[in-house]
Structure 1
Amino acid sequence: MSKSTFGQLPAVTIRAADGAQATVTLYGGHLVSWRTSDGQERLFCSRDSALDGSRAIRGGVPVIFPQFGARGTGMRHGFARVATWQLAASGEADGAAYAEFTLTQSDLPEAIAAAWPFAFTLRLRVAVKGQALDLSLSVQNTGEQAFPFSAALHTYFAIEQLDAARIAGLQRVRYSDETPQDALQAEELLQLADKLDRIYYQLPGALTLQAGAATLRLEQQGFTDAVVWNPGAQDAAALPDLADDEYRRFICIEPALIQPDTLAAGAGWTGRQHLEFT
């Protein structure tokens, strides 16, 4: 493990013995780079993203907590992605390099802490080895009052061309989008040509992303749902931190707990994701 920077942001880089590595900024506990042991960068970050702590990073793996999107009265997508986390531990285990980061109520700016007055500890664990990445997000209620929360790992995968990507594992899974009624996906393979924003509920098993010669397997536990998103040309043009042509170079597939869960005093929850290229 070594301390580094990403833009102007303090960061930590972990390296496995086989060459796999990951970089996480303390701002947001944000995984901004994942290179598999063959040296390939697997995550997308926008070249127009602010990397000075003035706003959330566009790309990588933003941590969504305690609110998903605008589904609540708090900050859109929650405060975890714009708060400063602490490095708690790092090391090696079974050939994998890992680092753990924590965020507590005492780490929050005063205004955010006042708006969400619950005692908690968030813990993010990032581990890399070979062609694999393991992510674990846990939340512990350290206070005396129950609180509701949602969570997600809003992962931006780097791809060569959006319309060549295929996602398997979503057939017959219920989803919601911008239309009034939920639907079941009919297609065996999901293809994107332009904008798509869908929440898939209660995933039955693993997903696979086929993008060019690479096949990525995505497995998750604790997270019940998955979000598939790309802004498409029109919405990308309206995003100040995304270059107009960049929407073709990524696809977001995020493990998520969309419907708020209630965490009792002293209770905990953990969501995990295992990603591996084959």
Structure 2
Amino acid sequence: MITAYHRLARLERTRPYRWWRPAVELAVAGLLFVVLQAVWVVPFLLINGAEQPGGIAEGNPTSMLFGYGAIALTIPAAFVAAWASGRDVRALWSIERRFRWRFFLPALAAFAAPSVLALAVGVLAFGAPPARLDAVFFSCVAITVLLLPLQCLAEELLFRGTLVQSVGAWASSPWVAYLAPVPLFVFGHTGGGGQLVTVSIFALLAALLVHRTGGLELALALHIVNNANVSYANFSGIADLDSLRAFLPVAGLLGAFVLAVLANVVVGTKVAPMPTYDAHLRHLPHPTGDLLFQSAASPAHGGVPVVAPWFAQTLGPQMHGWANQLPWVRTAQGSGTTTAQLTNDHLRLTYTVRTEPEISFGLRVDNLDDVPRRIQLALHPYWAVDAAHARVTGLEGAPYLDKVAGVTRTLEAPIVFGEEVDRVVRTTAQCSLSDAHRTLTFTPHGTDHVVVWNPGPEVCAQDENLGADDWAGFVCVEPALLGESRDGVVLAPGESAEIGLDVHVTAPTQP
């Protein structure tokens, strides 16, 4: 299952996780949140005089510029803090490591609709707002449109991003991760008891939206609508009325909250089907023991990572492509078979794993683009064996690239381990991996290479993402479609390619 949003700080890292790193992130974020506001507040007071500019709720351009600007300037705080703690800063946005405009824009339109309707009813029933439609009024409108969304973004990044993910690095429960920042958010918004109730409801709805959709987009949309509604009610003078018109902005806000509740149901199951998966199989139970190795030092090293749409960095900057970095959607499950799909960059990947009656894997790519695409496919299984006594047979006589030595050779004997091995073998043949405990026989389909890899003790000792003795617990035998010259294969528009792997396990006959 793909890492939940509140747990991304634990696994999506550029440096290994340590228990103290989330504390560093919180400290840096808090410090920058104060310092960056001071960068805005101090010059603002010097320019406008020492007299307090007032709160945002006073509804004048000076107070709005002062309040919204100070918070908006703290946007970099969350990203700098995430970088300082050694994690992927893109994970602040969503489980897809990006801002998902396809979620944000429809949500913004939907949440704003009740307020727009309330505004229209107010104009038709009561005429122009109480405030004069002068330069001051339109200055407030401009600040609301241009600066208020940035203020909302800064708060979402801090309260539903940094705080949630930092707490989530320590606590696996979403209840703890999402509820812990709520009091800070609520009491950071001053006002009467009624306002605190509204802010509390909003904070809980926003947290639920982030958890259900795996990102900040819908919470940000609701935040913008909420703040814009309140801002307009203040600077238009409607909030000061005693008539029915003063209730219209409240009605618009209640409508947005109701839609947010519905969005938690609809979006979480339709637009972003839950649960989603990273398609990284981590365990493969078998009577002889789990067939897959899993490193305690890094979850990325172990199981069966999916490699697509390229191998290594042949066709792009991300190591082994983006297939193992984005969320997949499970499309079928039952009778020992699970199928998941991922569509990205005009390519559709379909991944099928069967565990009954025999173990098999299938990985297919369809070119949905209107131009030819060059792709590569591979599976990267970490087979659990005693590497010091393991050997790979069946590849003898095949040419291979020795990536350690940087030369091309012909394989003349079984591959054994004890030092770094990284060989890209040009073959379609069946091969076997065996130790004293069991033999795994691999039958590939649709492939043109087999990659055999083990880091050996020296590399393990130097790589902080591997345990010092990890090399002795696995060997990677990877079926791959790399292309004749290892530069990929070209798929015409509408064309597909598919690789497969059948695995047969035998144990030595007991005397």
Determine if the TM-score, normalized by the shorter chain, exceeds 0.5: yes
- Kindly state the Cα deviation for residue 70 of structure 1 after the two structures are TM-superposed: 2.3
- Kindly state the Cα deviation for residue 219 of structure 1 after the two structures are TM-superposed: 0.3
Larger-gyration structure (1/2): 2
Q: 1:30 maps to what in 2?
A: 280
Rounded to whole Å, the distance in 2 between the matches of 1:214 and 1:26 is 34
Q: 1:254 maps to what in 2?
A: 478
Structure 2: which amino acid aligns with 1:100? Answer: T
Q: 1:200 maps to what in 2?
A: 425
Give SS of 2:460's match.
Answer: helix
Q: 1:43 maps to what in 2?
A: 292
Rounded to whole Å, the distance in 1 between the matches of 2:296 and 2:424 is 27
Rounded to whole Å, the distance in 2 between the matches of 1:194 and 1:39 is 26
Residue by residue over 1:130-165, the C-alpha shift from the partner in whole angstroms, topping out at 9 and shown as x without a partner, is 5x3110000011121111011110110001x21210
Structure 2: which 5+ residue stretches go unaligned?
9-94, 96-274, 507-511
Give SS of 1:71's match.
Answer: coil
**What is the root-mean-square deviation in Å for CA atoms of aligned residues?**
2.2
Q: 2:347 maps to what in 1?
A: 120
Residue by residue over 1:90-147, the C-alpha shift from the partner in whole angstroms, topping out at 9 and shown as x without a partner, is 112xxxx101000001xxxxxxxxxxxx4111000001025x3110000011121111
Cα distance 1:144–1:4, how it changes in 2: closer, same or farther (>3 A)? Answer: closer
User: Which among 57, 62, 68 is matched to residue 311 of structure 2?
Assistant: 68
Q: 1:268 maps to what in 2?
A: 496
Rounded to whole Å, the distance in 2 between the matches of 1:186 and 1:26 is 45
Give SS of 1:80's match.
Answer: coil
Rounded to whole Å, the distance in 2 between the matches of 1:211 and 1:46 is 19
Confirm whether residue 155 of structure 1 aligns to residue 381 of structure 2.
yes
Give SS of 2:471's match.
Answer: helix
Rounded to whole Å, the distance in 2 between the matches of 1:194 and 1:126 is 32
- Kindly state the Cα deviation for residue 4 of structure 1 after the two structures are TM-superposed: 10
Give SS of 2:494's match.
Answer: coil
Structure 1: which 5+ residue stretches go unaligned?
11-24, 51-56, 106-117
Aligned positions of 1:59-98 closer than 5 A: 59-92=302-335, 97-98=336-337
- Kindly state the Cα deviation for residue 71 of structure 1 after the two structures are TM-superposed: 1.8
Aligned positions of 1:189-268 closer than 5 A: 189-203=414-428, 205-258=429-482, 259=486, 260-268=488-496
Higher RCO (CA-CA < 8 Å; seq separation 6+): 1
Rounded to whole Å, the distance in 2 between the matches of 1:225 and 1:163 is 24
Give the structure-2-normalised TM-score.
0.44
Percent identity between the aligned chains? Answer: 28
User: Larger deviation: 136-145 or 69-78?
Assistant: 69-78
User: Larger deviation: 241-250 or 230-239?
Assistant: 230-239
CA contact (8 A) 1:62 1:154 kept: yes
Structure that is richer in helix per residue = 2
Structure 2: which amino acid aligns with 1:254? Answer: E
Rounded to whole Å, the distance in 2 between the matches of 1:167 and 1:49 is 25
Rounded to whole Å, the distance in 2 between the matches of 1:74 and 1:166 is 33
Give SS of 1:248's match.
Answer: helix
CA contact (8 A) 1:27 1:82 kept: no
Structure 1: which amino acid aligns with 2:490? Answer: T
CA contact (8 A) 1:226 1:256 kept: yes
Give SS of 2:457's match.
Answer: helix
Rounded to whole Å, the distance in 2 between the matches of 1:142 and 1:91 is 28
Rounded to whole Å, the distance in 1 between the matches of 2:293 and 2:317 is 27
Rounded to whole Å, the distance in 2 between the matches of 1:274 and 1:256 is 13
Structure 1: which amino acid aligns with 2:361? Answer: L
Confirm whether residue 104 of structure 1 aligns to residue 343 of structure 2.
yes
Structure 2: which amino acid aligns with 1:197? Answer: D
Give SS of 1:30's match.
Answer: coil
CA contact (8 A) 1:134 1:274 kept: yes
Structure 2: which amino acid aligns with 1:138? Answer: R
CA contact (8 A) 2:2 2:276 kept: no
- Kindly state the Cα deviation for residue 39 of structure 1 after the two structures are TM-superposed: 6.3
- Kindly state the Cα deviation for residue 73 of structure 1 after the two structures are TM-superposed: 3.5
- Kindly state the Cα deviation for residue 27 of structure 1 after the two structures are TM-superposed: 4.5
Q: 1:182 maps to what in 2?
A: 408
CA contact (8 A) 1:167 1:209 kept: yes
Give SS of 1:182's match.
Answer: strand
- Kindly state the Cα deviation for residue 72 of structure 1 after the two structures are TM-superposed: 3.0
Cα distance 1:186–1:42, how it changes in 2: closer, same or farther (>3 A)? Answer: same
CA contact (8 A) 1:45 1:58 kept: yes
CA contact (8 A) 2:424 2:452 kept: yes
Rounded to whole Å, the distance in 2 between the matches of 1:253 and 1:27 is 24
Residue by residue over 1:205-229, the C-alpha shift from the partner in whole angstroms, topping out at 9 and shown as x without a partner, is 2101111131111000111110000
- Kindly state the Cα deviation for residue 177 of structure 1 after the two structures are TM-superposed: 1.3
